[in-house]
Structure 1
Amino acid sequence: MWSWLTKTVFSVVAALLVAKALQVISRVMRTGGKFPDAPSSRKNWFFGHALELSDPAKRVDIIDGWCEAVGTCEFRALSRRALVITEVEDVAKLSSLRPRTVQRSPLMRTLCDYFAPGVFTAEVPQWTVERRIVSPAFHSNARLSEYVPNIVKLSERLCEVVAGKEVAINATMNKFTLDSIGLLGFGQDIDTLRGGDDDAAMFTSCFAILAKRLMAPLPYCKLIPYFGERMDGGKARQRALFQFLEDVVRRGGPDRTVLAKLLEKNLGENNALTDERLVGNLATLFLAGTDTTGTTITWMVKHLAEDSTLQEEARIEARRFANRPDDFGTVPLLRSLFREVLRMEGPVAVLPLQNTTEPVVIAGRTVDPNEYTLIVALRFLGKHRLPPGEKDPTKFDAWRWVDRKEKDGLRPWPKALMPFGFGVRACPGKDLSELEALIAVGALLRRFEMTLVDDGKGPHGAKFAFTMIPSREIYVNFHPI
């Protein structure tokens, strides 16, 4: 009996695997070629460009290289076909079609929904409801001002932690932003900066799991029922995250927290969010607001630490900012530094989309619904599609956006710069991210002389880990002034 059952199970599994392999091969053999092929010496008939893209540390650099060589182009990884979009006009067209005709790619949506089923991946009509509930927690100066005292409190704690030490700023800044989400999001002082809750720090490993799943040759989570989602530890982390946040929602949020605002808005909705969706949006806040802002602050500190002139000028602004930490007009240089980091080293280098219901014309050719994953090359656009006459657009310049003649001391951003996404689907937390960065970096400038530690390994680069992060630890010495 058991022998027959075992043989039957193995036969069914083998048949399913063969069917899947044949499906992949049939898709691989499907002709493409509407657009120039991405140049690659490692492309072959079965894997396509997957072998060249197999190293996460180089993946975005390779895609940027293709953009420089041929502009808008297509590539294939097994049966997945992608179109890399490099022209501002085409991106503007996609922006105008969001969120109804053009949406996030199904793969990206499925992956993110596993850990954070919230406004980031929701599509209409669910997105319309969630956006209406989530946005008020971020989109007003008065609302952001309410968060300032807690950000200042955490910035002072950050200064205490780094004082007089050589610090790996990557991990430290991620802890700062994680603590900020805990305190601003639902009023809980997680205090990972001082080791107060090691379990909360575990949640940041979700990025590594998402990156692994995104680049897996096949979606093993679906291909291998039950065991697939447990192969990389994702299920355990998902359970821990959801349990933690379910408890938070049940307790409710203190006044002046994101959760309090969500609950308040949700009560007035005819189509109120379920507890599951509220938990998902808190998870979105965690995942979208930790590594991304933490990485941006890391690069800001790194550039300040290696340039004494920049540091001194920024320190003058930081001292002025101390008395008015919600007045961005007092810190044009720091804001310019923030923007330049996002342009050159932003945490989001590419944005995967898909036209789901209607054809769209890209680079003069018609793309049918679901024919390609549309890869918007955000970092390439920021570096190579600035207005004509822009001085050294491919080089980092912290002063690039300063213009004392403008009301807020900054030049307007060109259309090519879209580090927070574009159109109505732009990240609702972008202003909060900038506020956190300016207050934290300002506090460090007022308290310390910062010097970059030379580890003898050359310039620091970035690698893909779902978001773009420094490819190795960046160490900075913080000398009290």
Structure 2
Amino acid sequence: MNEYYLLTLCIGILIIFLATSRKKGTKFPVVPGAYPILGNLINVDRLPDQIDDWCSKYGICEFRMLGKKWVIVADATELKTLSRQRPRQIQRFKPLRRALDDVAPGVFGAELPQWSLERRLMTPAFNHSNLTNFLPGLHKCCDSLVAAVRKEGGNNFIMLAARYTADVIGLVSFGQELESLNNPNSDIADVFKKLLHATTKRMLTPLPLWRIPILGPILDHFNGISSLKRRQNLTCEKILAQANPDNGYSILDKMVHLNRKENTKLSNIRLIGNLATLYIAGSETTATTMSWMLYFLAKFPDFQEEARRECFANSFDQFTTFKQALEAYPHLRSLFWECLRFYGPASFLFLENSQNTIQVADRTLDPNEYVLVVPLRWLAKQPQLGGSTFDPRRWLVSSSSTLNSKPSLLDPLPENLTLPFGFGVRICPGKDLAELEACTACAALLRAYDKIELVNPEEPQPSPTFQFAMIPDRPINLRFIQSTFTK
């Protein structure tokens, strides 16, 4: 954390403390150990672990941080009640919205009525019929990933995975081939990645100095943010100019088409912001999940071989639909959801009720009285979902037919399992695409290599650490053993 963020932290703590010092009442069991002004001291990198620990010890509870009161909604029934109140009565935490709107003003950080408009423009591109058009391109990206692994190896695999997901996002979101796997120094990927980390820092900064006239632009200039924004805007304007709204299938093509057809007048700034949003929301998150999947494929060699046989049992042609492609990999899909249960990119959500009173555990919360913390990972690790035992086969079910014993994925999946993609009406529209994107890449690597191993199997397992997404705290290093014969 550089001097700028340290300064804003100190100033923010002081201002927030002065603004909230009179609101000292509590409505829930209080987490012990809070200090005056500072509240509960938390290592931000390990914030998810701390929240999980408090959930287990105290259930629904509150703590103080940066002068604010936070309530952890550690109850699935209460979460259902809250989900019905989004987005009208409950919104995303304001500092997160501000950070996203400054860097990527799009649907991810939008609230009503803007959210309804942008969601309506974006959703048609994510239906399975439209996504079927991208299957050949997705397999091409997988071929590039296999080639990159042959050339570069599997050390710090998440870096390769991020380039793969960037290429998929370029294809599906922009209708363009970014070639990140063939060009590690891709300008588009570099700009979006740097802005992603800038967004994380701003989200965790208590005082948004960058929003102050005159001062904000000066700070952005010296931090390099202004230069990154200019590069992002130039890049996105070029992408926007190449959109094909009349005949294209990409998310951008569909959005521009509907924007013109319905005369909704969504500005170019918001269109560009949504391009950045698609990258921010879908790149590092899916890359991280893919990396965990391959880690556990290496960790469970018997399961790896089962998944490999399943991959070779399937073939695809020009008539394969998105649904058929997704259902071809029940083993990998089970692993995907088990990895999300333990290592999902979103371990928690920060929400707030800025305009209306709401009820949590029979207590009335006034507007802006509390920040609501939804402990996604803790809820997904409850005993009814398997507790703290990792099992890659957990979500497989056997066929009841004796003639066909091929397993399938449990359908429907438990509600709390899909929480990493959001809940209520604000569930991520790209959920199915992310699942197929990760599973197809793993399948391509399983077909290409006889065995996937950990480089140092005796090393302790990596732990997730909090940045914009939950990422491993050290590299996942893999060894891919080349096939010795043609299968």
TM-score (norm 1): 0.89
Out of 78, 86, 92, the residue aligned to residue 104 of structure 1 is 92
Separation in structure 1 between the aligned mates of residue 53 and residue 184 of structure 2, nearest angstrom: 43
| Residue pair 1:207, 1:467 contacting (<8 A) in 2 also | no
Amino acid in the other structure paired with 1:248: I
- Stretches of structure 2 that go unaligned for 5 or more consecutive residues are 1-9, 401-406
CA distance in 2, matches of 1:110, 1:342: 27
Partner of 2:269: 276
Cα deviations by residue, 1:245-275 (Å, 9 ceiling, x for unpaired): 0121122247222221112221211323111
Provide the C-alpha distance between the structure 1 equivalents of 2:255 and 2:93, rounded to a whole number of angstroms.
27
On the 8 A contact 2:17/2:37 being kept in 1, the answer is no
Q: Deviations over 1:183-209 (max 9, x none)?
A: 222232221212264322322122322
Choose from 190, 198, 218 the match for 1:209: 198
Q: Tell me the SS of whatever aligns to 1:99.
A: coil
Q: Per-residue deviation at 1:433?
A: 0.7
CA distance in 2, matches of 1:345, 1:436: 17
Note the C-alpha offset of 1:113: 1.2
Residue 35 of structure 2: SS of its match in structure 1?
Answer: coil
Tell me which residue corresponds to 2:218.
227
In structure 1, distance between residues paired with 2:472 and 2:395:
24
Gaps of 5+ in 1: 1-16
**Which SS does the other structure have where 1:380 is aligned?**
helix
Q: Is the 8 A contact 2:356 2:366 kept in 1?
A: yes
Q: Is the 8 A contact 2:13 2:67 kept in 1?
A: no
Question: 1:162 aligned to 2:160?
Answer: no
1:203-246, CA deviations, whole angstroms, 9 ceiling, x for partnerless residues?
Answer: 21223222222223433324653333345433322221122101
Q: Are 2:197 and 1:188 equivalent residues in the alignment?
A: no
Give 3-state SS (helix, strand or coil) of 2:394's partner.
coil
Matches within 5 A, 1:273-312: 273-312=266-305
**Residue equivalent to 2:456:** 454
Q: What is the match of residue 237 of structure 1?
A: 228
2:13–2:38: 8 Å Cα contact kept in structure 1? no
Q: Distance in 1 between matches of 2:119 and 2:463?
A: 35
Report the Cα distance in structure 2 between the residues aligned to 1:222 and 1:456, rounded to whole angstroms: 48
- Name the aligned partner's letter for residue 109 of structure 1: R
1:351 is aligned to 349
Match of 1:435 in 2: 436
How large is the Cα RMSD of the aligned pairs? Answer: 2.2
Q: How does 1:104-183 map to 2 (within 5 A)?
A: 104-138=92-126, 140-163=127-150, 165-183=153-171
2:203 aligned partner, one-letter code: L
Task: Count the aligned residue pairs.
Answer: 455
Q: Counterpart amino acid of 2:476? A: I
Give the whole-Å Cα distance in 1 for the aligned partners of 2:307 and 2:468: 31
SS in 2 for 1:472: coil
For 2:285 and 2:275, how far apart are their aligned partners in 1? 16
The question of 1:246 aligning with 2:237 is answered yes
Q: Partners in 2 of 1:244 and 1:18 — Cα distance?
A: 35
Q: Is the 8 A contact 2:13 2:206 kept in 1?
A: no
- Deviation digits for residues 137-156 of structure 1 (CA, Å, limit 9, x no counterpart): 10x22111111111100100
Structure-2 residue corresponding to 1:369? 367
Structure 1 range deviating more: 426-435 or 71-80? 71-80
| Alignment CA distance shift 1:443-1:141 (3 Å) | same
> CA offsets per residue over residues 363-394 of structure 1, 9 Å max, x none?
2211111111111110111012x53xx5x421
| Residue aligning to 2:4 | none
Q: Residue 414 of structure 2 aligns with which residue? A: 414
Aligned partner (choices 398, 402, 416) of residue 404 of structure 1:
398
In the alignment, is the contact (CA less than 8 A) between 1:88 and 1:415 conserved in 2? no
